[in-house]
């Protein structure tokens, strides 16, 4: 049977990574295509990604030790857009990622909100160490590599302030862990120690070691700290932490259930290990423990039982992951009100039907009351996305019952006129959306499917594309302290 040639559609994406040590940006082009056959329900996927522009590696602009220079970051980004030959309004998806210890700066939230408003029509702002690790694993190549291996692979993205670990198997996330292990934890100037980060101060106190700002950069305690950082990182990777490691763990301990067989390193410290970048090509200059830490990790390589793989990218892994791997496409079985898009930073509340529609439907009202208490405690009109999971096969009567219950609970919001945003894992979005329209509801309906999210995620939904699909970015907005 002759099949009509499949049309392609392009969209531009940007990734901006503002890290502890460095800031960088990329611009990518996505090619979208219907990968389903002519007689099947359309399924639009990203079939090709092309990197159009990569910025140099810049030193992250700071006003002082605790404040990001927002104006300088914006100036840098705008300058890079100009070099790339694109206008911010042409950007349809992508991410601003604030990584490492930069997320602890007092104006971190202000900066990402500012950039997401000024750096592109549909750029999202994300932060949180677990998400950083996942994005870096996609940019480094570890995520794709996990599909080829029978055993788990860990990507360790080590930057200026943190090491973000993400463990994958067959492209499924098994777990994460973030540590205060990075190049800028001790900085030098003119042969002396210029700064010692708080996590290292705690480690020194626990160990009973003495190290001060102004001490010589070759003070033997510096080498002892680097040895301890490396040993702690390897203990975490092998899931055998010691009590001393708690001062270096940011958030939770390692939570993957299967032992790691392969490791891959990315980030600025990995660049010191593998030296992918051309010397002198970037303005960022380092004067810290990064190179010594990289050397120590490579020394320990022969003593470990893991298989070591070199990454596709080192210092650019996170920005490449942010620009090229954060977007999903919600398919052609959706119902959206185009003039309501884009929508940004919608918190997700999940209601799981557990494959039992009849029993769970009456419980939906109480569940939405919890969502309102959680996301709009002061009844100010904060909207949210309702994720309906675990839906069984439903006949039209069940769809009507679901639509009636959705409207009943959504009308209880402080501002009932806000769009009703529904996310479904199964292909029910169009029929549910059309049923709501047939009920002549007053609200706009945004009903998307083929997307899997989790309770506590945030969603950005972009403008409708020519293929009647929408780009969706799923993210975690967490600013650690």
- Cβ-defined contacts of 437-441 (< 8 Å, 24+): 437/335, 439/403, 439/404, 439/407, 441/407
Structural domains for the chain:
8-126 (3.30.420.40), 131-315 (3.30.420), 329-475 (3.50.30)
Computed over its alpha carbons, how large is the radius of gyration of the chain?
24
Q: What mean pLDDT is predicted for residues 329-345? A: 76
Report d(CA 113, CA 132) in Å as an integer: 17
**In whole angstroms, what is the distance from residue 470 CA to residue 125 CA?**
18
Q: Confidence class of residue 283 from pLDDT cuts 50, 70 and 90?
A: low
Res 43: pLDDT: 62
Maximum average pLDDT range among 26-30, 39-43, 163-167, 173-177: 163-167
Instruction: Give the confidence band of 366 by pLDDT, cuts at 50, 70, 90.
Output: confident
| Across 362-378, average pLDDT | 80
Lowest-confidence region among 4-13, 283-292, 302-311, 471-480: 471-480
Look at 74-78, 232-236, 385-389, 448-452 and tell me which has the smallest mean pLDDT.
448-452
Output the pLDDT for position 5: 46
Per-residue pLDDT band for 79 (boundaries 50, 70, 90) equals very high
Tell me the pLDDT of the chain averaged across its residues: 85
The DSSP result for 398-445, as a single string, is HHHHHHHHHHHHHTTSSSTTS-EEEEESSTTHHHHHHHHHHTT-SS-E
Averaged over 427-444, what is the pLDDT? 87
Is pLDDT above 70 for 331?
Answer: no
Least confident of 37-51, 145-159, 436-450: 37-51
Taking 70 as the threshold, does the pLDDT of residue 357 lie above it?
Answer: yes
Position 479 scores a pLDDT of: 47
With beta carbons less than 8 A apart as the criterion, state whether 73 and 23 touch.
yes
Whole-angstrom CA distances from 353 to 155, 292, 330, 392 are 35, 53, 21, 8
pLDDT of residue 189: 92
Q: Do residues 357 and 391 make contact, with C-beta atoms less than 8 angstroms apart?
A: yes
Q: Determine what percent of the chain is predicted with pLDDT higher than 70.
A: 91
Mean pLDDT (whole number) for 19-46: 74
**Confidence grade of residue 1 (pLDDT, cut at 50, 70, 90):** very low
User: Does the pLDDT value for residue 4 go beyond 60?
Assistant: no
Average pLDDT (150-157) is: 94
The beta strands (E) that lie in 159-288 are given as: 163-169, 172-179, 186-189, 192-196, 249-250, 262-266
pLDDT surpassing 60 at residue 371: yes
**450 to each of 44, 45, 339, 388, how far by Cα in Å?**
10, 11, 22, 12
pLDDT band at residue 346 using 50, 70 and 90 as cut-offs: confident
pLDDT (tens digit per residue) in 179-223? 999 999 999 999 999 999 999 999 999 999 999 999 999 999 999
pTM of the model: 0.77
């Amino acid at each position: 049977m002759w099949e009509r040639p499949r049309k392609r559609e392009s969209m531009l994406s940007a990734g901006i990574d503002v890290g502890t040590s460095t800031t960088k940006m990329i611009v990518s082009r996505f090619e979208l295509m219907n990968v389903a056959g002519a007689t099947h329900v359309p399924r639009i996927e990203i079939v090709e990604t092309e990197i159009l522009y990569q910025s140099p590696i810049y030193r992250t602009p700071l006003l002082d030790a605790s404040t990001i220079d927002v104006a300088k970051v914006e100036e840098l980004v705008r300058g890079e857009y100009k070099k790339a030959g694109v206008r911010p309004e042409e950007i349809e998806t992508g991410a601003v990622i604030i990584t490492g210890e930069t997320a602890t700066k007092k104006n971190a939230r202000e900066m990402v909100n500012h950039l997401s408003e000024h750096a592109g029509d549909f750029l999202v702002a994300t932060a949180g160490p677990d998400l950083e690790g996942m994005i870096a694993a996609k940019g480094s190549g570890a995520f794709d590599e996990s599909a080829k291996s029978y055993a788990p692979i860990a990507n360790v993205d080590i930057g200026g302030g943190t090491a973000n670990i993400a463990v994958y198997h067959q492209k499924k996330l098994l777990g994460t862990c973030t540590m205060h292990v990075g190049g800028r934890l001790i900085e030098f100037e003119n042969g002396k120690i210029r700064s010692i980060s708080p996590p290292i101060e705690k480690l020194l106190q626990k160990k009973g070691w003495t190290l001060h700002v102004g001490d010589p950069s070759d003070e033997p305690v510096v080498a002892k700290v680097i040895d301890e950082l490396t040993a702690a990182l390897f203990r975490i990777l092998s899931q055998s932490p010691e009590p001393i490691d708690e001062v270096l763990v940011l958030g939770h301990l390692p939570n993957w259930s299967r032992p790691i067989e392969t490791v891959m390193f990315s980030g600025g410290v990995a660049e010191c290990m593998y030296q992918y970048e051309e010397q002198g090509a970037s303005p960022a200059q380092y004067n810290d423990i990064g190179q010594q830490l990289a050397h120590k990790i490579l020394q320990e390589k022969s003593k470990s039982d893991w298989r070591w793989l070199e990454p596709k990218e080192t210092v650019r892994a996170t920005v490449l992951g942010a620009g090229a791997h954060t977007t999903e496409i919600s398919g052609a079985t959706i119902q959206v009100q185009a003039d309501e898009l884009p929508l940004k930073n919608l918190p997700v509340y999940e209601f799981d039907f557990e494959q039992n529609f009849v029993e769970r439907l009456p419980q939906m009202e109480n569940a939405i009351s919890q969502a309102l208490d959680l996301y709009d405690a002061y009844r100010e009109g904060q909207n949210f996305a309702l994720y309906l999971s675990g839906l069984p096969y439903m006949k039209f009567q069940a769809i009507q019952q679901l639509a009636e219950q959705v409207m009943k609970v959504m009308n209880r919001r402080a501002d009932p006129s806000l769009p009703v945003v529904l996310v479904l894992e199964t292909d029910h979005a169009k029929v549910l959306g059309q049923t709501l329209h047939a009920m002549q509801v007053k609200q706009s309906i945004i009903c998307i499917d083929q997307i899997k999210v989790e309770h506590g995620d945030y969603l950005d939904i972009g403008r409708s594309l020519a293929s009647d699909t929408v780009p969706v970015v799923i993210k975690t907005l967490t600013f650690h302290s």
